[in-house]
Structure 1
Amino acid sequence: MAKTIGKNTPVKKDDAPAPKKKGVNPFQFFQQVRQEARKVTWTTRQETLVSTIMVLIMAGLAALFFFAVDSGISAAVTAILRLGS
């Protein structure tokens, strides 16, 4: 008679654990890494420069936007607090 777990899930005594994966020696590992690195499409210096400049411009615009919103909210809260005094 088999034991059960939960409702009706029988547990078999002869269930063996999954076999361990066979490791790769360091030489093969680094060889595989080099093969995969050769498949990568690297960006050109020009593409990297343009992307960097675009990121800096967008970060600056976001900073200006949030500064303006923060200043507006600050002015509104200050005006509301002055009404009460």
Structure 2
Amino acid sequence: MAKTIGNNTPAKKDEAPAPKKKRTNPFQFFQQVRQEGRKVTWTSRQETIVSTIMVLVMASLAALFFFGVDSAISFAITQILRLGA
């Protein structure tokens, strides 16, 4: 009869136990974070300004569009309800 592990699955003879993950101390962690941060390609100030302006313009256009659609639907529903009165 084969040995079983926890959830009744047979254990393999060649299977080694999973290696434990090495813990990193806080100093090493922040050192690694800084190293990764240096690899990032950051946008320039000009690109950030242009992107921000584009987002504001598109959000304004979307707000105007939905305001217009909402007003039209509100007007249509008001007219339909007046027919029944």
* Residue in 1 that maps onto 2:53: 53
Give the ranges of 4+ consecutive aligned residues of structure 1 lying more than 2 Å apart after TM superposition. Answer: 1-4, 9-12, 14-20
TM-score by length of 2: 0.80
Structure 1 gap segments, 5+ residues each: none
Per the TM alignment, residue 28 of structure 1 is displaced from its structure 2 partner at its CA by: 1.2
What is the total number of aligned residue pairs between the two structures?
81
Shift of the 28–79 alpha-carbon distance from structure 1 to 2, 3 Å rule, reads same
Q: For 1:70-81, what aligned pairs fall within 5 Å after superposition?
A: 70-81=70-81
Per the TM alignment, residue 3 of structure 1 is displaced from its structure 2 partner at its CA by: 8.0
Per the TM alignment, residue 11 of structure 1 is displaced from its structure 2 partner at its CA by: 3.4
Q: Secondary structure at the match of 2:43?
A: coil
Structure 2 gap segments, 5+ residues each: none
* Range with greater deviation from structure 2 (26-35 or 14-23): 14-23
* Residue in 1 that maps onto 2:62: 62
**Does the alignment pair 1:44 with 2:41?**
no
**Does the alignment pair 1:35 with 2:62?**
no
Could you tell me whether the CA contact under 8 Å between 1:2 and 1:11 is conserved in 2? yes
Q: C-alpha root-mean-square deviation of aligned residues, in Å?
A: 2.5
Give aligned-pair identity as a percent: 76
Could you tell me whether the CA contact under 8 Å between 1:2 and 1:10 is conserved in 2? no
Q: Give, in whole Å, the separation in 2 of the partners of 1:37 and 1:61.
A: 35
* Residue in 2 that maps onto 1:25: 25
Per the TM alignment, residue 75 of structure 1 is displaced from its structure 2 partner at its CA by: 0.4
